[in-house]
Amino acid sequence: MESTISVEGLGKRYGATVAVRDLSFTVEPGKVTGFLGPNGAGKSTTMRVILGLDRPTTGRALIAGVPYASIPAPTRVVGSLLDAGAVHPGRTARAHLGWIARASGVDLRRVGAALDRVGIAHAADRPAAALSLGMRQRLGLAAALLGDPSVLILDEPLNGLDPQGIVWLRGLLKEFADAGGTVLVSSHLMNEMQATADHVIVIARGELLASVGVAELAARTAGSVRVDGPGARALVPELRQRGARVEHAPATPDAFDVTGLDPLEIGRLALGAGVALRELAPRRTGLEAAFMDLTTSERTSG
């Protein structure tokens, strides 16, 4: 079954703090949707409301057309990971999943498969307190996948994963989406989101800033290129003349960050000027630069 998440005019207030205001967006099946925003933007709050863990002050959030609380067997429709620390420290990974399976009417035989799928079968009988952060994150993912859901809602699932783990999770999410699943995943790692997400929803101060395809957003903003070499300074006037923004890289004698020209154009210019470079490398990806632009202008205008 394919399930869309729709957030409609959502508002959430905690006393005097407005965590989310009039937020509307949809998360489509068949795609990985990144959920981005600075600290305190309201991402976790929105995810908790979608999962029925927090009551909205205004508006609503629906999964496949109904609120989470109205889904008859929710773990079979929605898998979630909000806080990987939320495991009883004395309970083993296997017992933790067994407990969730029993509580949600999932066949206990799925536990072993889920442990295998997230790569912690070898640690299945260790108490949760003896698992590393990355292993607890994988256990949380196993719990999310246990009911074979069509929707995944994951809050910062990359936290604590090693580079292999990050690549593994990227593959898992893409596969899940390719099979028609709906994925909403928050992260602060822009490079990773650019590699993983098809679509991003960007919020700040509880408000929607953008809901857009990753490629489109990344293309809107050029990333910066680090240009470093003993004679690089000589290139600066020419770079500026061609419309690039050039900033001296902090704490370096000869390095500059150039925005608005691609590395090949800069390389040709250096070649023409006979300037040797030790570094000519994209630094910020388009998504990271776009995120900074979006959230910084919001901060200064707000």
Ligand X SMILES: Nc1ncnc2c1ncn2[C@@H]1O[C@H](COP(=O)(O)OP(=O)(O)OP(=O)(O)O)[C@@H](O)[C@H]1O
Site of interaction with ligand X (CB under 6 A)? 14, 17, 19, 37, 39-45
Distance CA 120, CA 234 (A): 54
140 contacts 160 by C-beta, under 8 angstroms: no
Say which residue the tokens 């509580």 belong to: 103
For ligand X, which is the closer residue by CB, 161 or 266? Answer: 161
Q: What is the smallest separation between the CB atom of 50 and ligand X, expressed in angstroms?
A: 12
Q: What is the smallest separation between the CB atom of 3 and ligand X, expressed in angstroms?
A: 23
Q: What is the smallest separation between the CB atom of 156 and ligand X, expressed in angstroms?
A: 7
User: Is 274 exposed, middle or buried (CB count within 10 Å of its CB: 0-12, 13-18, 19+)?
Assistant: exposed
| Number of neighbouring beta carbons within 10 Å of residue 215 | 13
For ligand X, which is the closer residue by CB, 41 or 208? Answer: 41
Kind plus residue range of the DSSP H or E element containing 22 = strand 17-27
For ligand X, which is the closer residue by CB, 14 or 271? Answer: 14
For ligand X, which is the closer residue by CB, 120 or 185? Answer: 185
Q: What is the smallest separation between the CB atom of 13 and ligand X, expressed in angstroms?
A: 9
Q: What is the smallest separation between the CB atom of 226 and ligand X, expressed in angstroms?
A: 27
* Cα radius of gyration rounded to whole Å, the chain: 23
Phi, psi of 156, rounded to the nearest 5 degrees: 50, 50
For ligand X, which is the closer residue by CB, 204 or 246? Answer: 204
